[in-house]
Copies of this chain bind each other. A is one copy, B any other.
Amino acid sequence: MTTPTTPPAAAPDLVTFGESMALFTARRTGPLRFARDFDLGMGGAESNVAIGVSRLGHCATWVGRVGADEFGDLIRSTLLGEGVDARAITDSAAPTGLMIKGRRTADLVDVRYYRAGSAGSRLTPGDLDPGLITGARVLHVSAITPALSASARDAVRHAMTLARSAGVLVSLDVNYRAALWSPAEAGAWLREAVADVDALFVTGPEGRLIADVEEPAGLARALAALGPRHVLVKAGSEGALELSGDVVRHAEPYRVTEVDPVGAGDAFAAGWLAGWLSGSDPDERLRTACAAGAFAVTSQGDWESLPRTADLRLLQRRAPDGVDR
């Protein structure tokens, strides 16, 4: 019998910021115009990571702007409800952004954005409390935020600088979004920013925005040469690779039935960062990252499917008849 989630007076373990949006998800597979029924929820790469880290037992703070509207309230209450210290700044001059998500076919998820000029894109360096960042153990950002606006880009670099100055681990997940900027623009920003990153999360194609190496281990070494102490190269159902110091570790993928691939990358980052915060040994930390990523695709939702510590054990054992009662 325990009393959980008393609000954190102390400094958080992890601070992150970015844009979260209302999310309309189509219920049936096929072209969106025939979808008819949609569920309303919310999502955002950084807030997904905050929820993921929180579910694995650490204190996470998320900062971002939302509109003075129902969708802003939805984002705030969802994050507070998940135990994240959500600092959702109400910007009455712009609406909360939207995502529309569907399945074009059984094998292809389709995501569209209404975020141009949104409240979330208007983040500024001044929105970030310096003490919050320097008092944390991890700062996590994504390369979505610099693609949103000039002020948002400044906010990311400002935060990274603050964190570096205070010895806070700087984590960057590339999360390349073709709808927001070109590979060339993303590559230019990333090549510059990566020097201030401690832990870098990429897929192969994302890594090649920065360094033109095909083979995963070589790619990781090329990226590490630019700054990061930890490089994580994710290969979806092929597993993942970690380069930390001189050591390359390979993780086998978990065999799961995929229900919704969205959120797997955020879950991987959350798992790895939770392992780092817990002081797990590197093998265990990488296994946690892979298990979290695998678990996240086994049910619906961008963040609803993020695992708790107990859930990760479900991947190892299954009820004899597939029914737990």
Chain A residues packing against B (C-beta within 8 Å): 1-10, 24, 26, 28-40, 69-71, 73-74, 76-78, 80-83, 85-93, 95, 98, 103-114, 116-117, 177-179, 203-205, 236, 256-259, 261-262, 264-265, 295, 298-301, 304-305, 314, 318-325
Contact = CB atoms under 8 A, between A and B. Distances in A.
Contact of A103 (B2, B33, B299): B299
B108 A262 contact: no
8 contacts: A2-B89, A4-B83, A6-B87, A29-B299, A31-B305, A33-B40, A117-B117, A265-B321
A90 B256 contact: no
A34 B261 contact: no
A30 B299 contact: yes
Contact of A314 (B2, B108, B314, B321): B108
A40 to B, nearest CB: 6
Nearest to A42: B33
The 10 closest A-B pairs by CB, nearest first: A7-B7, A81-B81, A30-B299, A77-B81, A105-B298, A106-B257, A111-B325, A32-B70, A33-B74, A109-B323
Given A7-B85, A24-B24, A36-B39, 5 more contacts: A29-B299, A30-B304, A106-B258, A108-B318, A116-B116
B30 A40 contact: no
Contacts of A93: 1
Given A109-B322, A111-B325, A298-B107, A31 B304 contact: yes
A298 B111 contact: no
B6 A113 contact: no
A40 B34 CA distance: 8
B36 A323 contact: no
Given A76-B5, A323-B261, A36 B30 contact: no
Contacts of A105: 256-257, 259, 295, 298-299, 314
Contacts of A70: 31-33, 112
Nearest to A94: B116
A71 B40 contact: no
Nearest to A77: B81
A149 B108 CA distance: 36
A322 B104 CA distance: 10
Contacts of A30: 259, 299-301, 304-305
A8 B80 CA distance: 13
Nearest to A30: B299
A208 to B, nearest CB: 11
A203 B319 CA distance: 12
Nearest to A255: B107
Contacts of A4: 76, 83, 88, 90
Contact of A89 (B3, B26, B314): B3
Contact of A77 (B9, B33, B95): B33
